[in-house]
Chain A
Amino acid sequence: MDPTLSSWIEGIQDSSFYKIDFPAISFIVKALKLNQAQAFKVVLDINSQNLSLVDRIEDEIFKIGVVEVIPPFEDEDDFNYLKAGIVSTVAMIILKISAPPDTAEELKSQFDELDASLSKDTVNDMRLIICSAFNYKPEDLSDWTWIKLLTRFIEAQKILSGRLLVTENTSQLPQTRTIVDPRTKREIDIQEFVIQRGRPK
């Protein structure tokens, strides 16, 4: 697959792509890896008085984080002719979306925003329910087909609501047993269900 296309698809899957629109030019940017973003933040904090180093770091963040320029650069030198603030603004936004916020208030607001957006995402909810029922991690599900996801989701719902018995053999079918209720001292029949958690083949 075309590396640009695969990078696009990866970014969309991770929900880590953003579009930044200036009046005459737009940029598609991706979030940096967490440790990379944190390293840039530390270096910027330490060297905030070293203006030319700050500029070089911003240039670097821009070059790593920008996936596409619209309209595209015609020449490699076009970067140098961008308005100065565009690079600084884009680099600042890339860092903001890539690293944890500086204050607890910002963190809470980011958390609430993400929580609200995930709640609207049905496919994500389905993934979480599948992972609750089976021994999968959410990322294991990323290369599944839609039909497989839907099938496992239906199975997961049955398991979690106690409607499905996943048994290996007949000895694990529900057994009826009589016990004595310790409070009333009366005999009562109970049914034991065996639910095995594991990855369906």
Chain B
Amino acid sequence: MSDEELTKEKTQLAEVDPLVLVAKETGIDLKILNKWKEEFVDIYATKFPISGKVFIYRGVSREEWRTIREGLQGGANLDEKLVSVCTLFPKITPDLLRTSDIKAWTLETLANQIRMASDFYPDQVAFELVTKL
């Protein structure tokens, strides 16, 4: 592909609504994606490079976070709970978690992405947001 063709393709891709791309990739109806966007404002899609699996998720609100952590019984896994509350596609169920579709690190990676989407930052990054008055 020539440079010109590559630039043309990049421009075309940039013009496409990301929701349209996600709808094509996952087969989810665009109306459902728009409904999620309306309800949660920020929704995110991530594609795991080796398995090619796509997950759509959202951030967690302060109220939901408190509820999730209050409800954790001894030994319960915070990441598991967080991922099941915030992943919009595919629906994360205890059964799905036991299948080979969810690899050992999928859950942890997804949970970290949800944390980032919820504005949890490492200390170093957090301090870059601060200005002394």
Interface residues of A (CB under 8 A from B): 11-12, 15, 17-22, 28, 51-52, 54-56, 59, 79-89, 92-93, 96
Pick the contact of B126 from A54, A55, A93 — CB < 8 Å? A93
B30 within 8 A of A: no
Contact indicator A81/B63 (Cβ below 8 Å): yes
B32 within 8 A of A: no
With known contacts A51-B69, A52-B66, A22–B119 Cβ distance under 8 A: yes
Contact indicator A83/B130 (Cβ below 8 Å): no
Within 8 Å CB of B66, what residues of A? 52, 55-56, 59
Measured CB to CB, the nearest residue on chain A to B115 is A85
Measured CB to CB, the nearest residue on chain A to B126 is A89
The 4 closest A-B pairs by CB, nearest first: A85-B120, A84-B65, A85-B119, A80-B63
> What are 26 residue pairs bridging A and B, where the CB atoms are less than 8 Å apart in the complex?
A15-B132, A18-B133, A20-B130, A28-B133, A54-B69, A56-B66, A59-B62, A82-B61, A82-B62, A83-B62, A83-B117, A84-B62, A85-B118, A85-B119, A85-B121, A86-B62, A86-B118, A86-B119, A87-B62, A89-B119, A89-B121, A89-B126, A89-B129, A92-B123, A93-B129, A96-B127
B70 within 8 A of A: yes
Instruction: Write the nearest CB–CB distance from A111 to chain B, whole angstroms.
Output: 15
A92 to B129, CA, bound (A): 12
A80 to B42, CA, bound (A): 16
Within 8 Å CB of B59, what residues of A? 83-85
Interface size class, chain B: 20 to 34
With known contacts A52-B69, A52-B70, A55-B69, A84–B118 Cβ distance under 8 A: yes
Contact indicator B129/A20 (Cβ below 8 Å): yes
Instruction: Write the nearest CB–CB distance from B116 to chain A, whole angstroms.
Output: 8
B64 within 8 A of A: yes
Contact indicator B133/A12 (Cβ below 8 Å): yes
Within 8 Å CB of B60, what residues of A? 83-84
A93 to B59, CA, bound (A): 21
Per the 8 Å Cβ criterion, residues 105-133 of B in contact with A are: 115, 117-121, 123, 126-127, 129-133
Within 8 Å CB of A52, what residues of B? 66, 69-70
